[in-house]
Each structure stands twice: as structure tokens, then as C-alpha cells.
Structure 1
Amino acid sequence: MNYIKGIYLTILVTVMLNFEIKYEKKKFIATIYKYLLEYLMLNEI
């Protein structure tokens, strides 16, 4: 299950970076992605 979550987090990071590059004007949404990612990573620990 950790392997699947690792893949999910990797995809989430990729989407977040692509979103941030293409839509720099919508920083608040990118921030939401960052908080979501941090939340998931904290749950893994």
C-alpha cells in the first residue's frame, strides 16, 4: 500500500509543478496542492 501511495504522491507532485508552471497567476490553487501534499506526507510518517 505504501508503494501505491508513493506513486500517488509522485503524480501529485508532477501535476502540482505542471500546474504552477502553466498557471502562475493562480498561485492560491498551487498553494492548496502544496498543503495537500504536506498533509499526505505527514500522514505517511
Structure 2
Amino acid sequence: MAILLPPGAVFLNNGAGKDLLINIVLCLFFYVPGILHALWLVLK
């Protein structure tokens, strides 16, 4: 899910918070950093 919908994966893993906001901003500007950030948070 982190590859297809990174903010959704971050929300399910960490809930609403600063990590979700960071991921949404990364996905708005560049999609690949958003995917990497989501993968990093999910696999951490």
C-alpha cells in the first residue's frame, strides 16, 4: 500500500500526525520521495 497510496499507508501505520503531514507534502511535490518516506516509516 505504501507504493500505491503512500499517505494512506502512513496513516494506517502511524495515525494522523506530523509524519502524515510530511508525507502528504512530499507526495504533492514529488511522488517518489513520498513513496520512500512511507516505505521507511512502515518498515521501521
Query: TM-score, normalised to structure 1's length?
Result: 0.39
RCO comparison, higher one (Cα < 8 Å, 6+): 2
More helix by share: 1
Higher gyration radius (CA)? 1
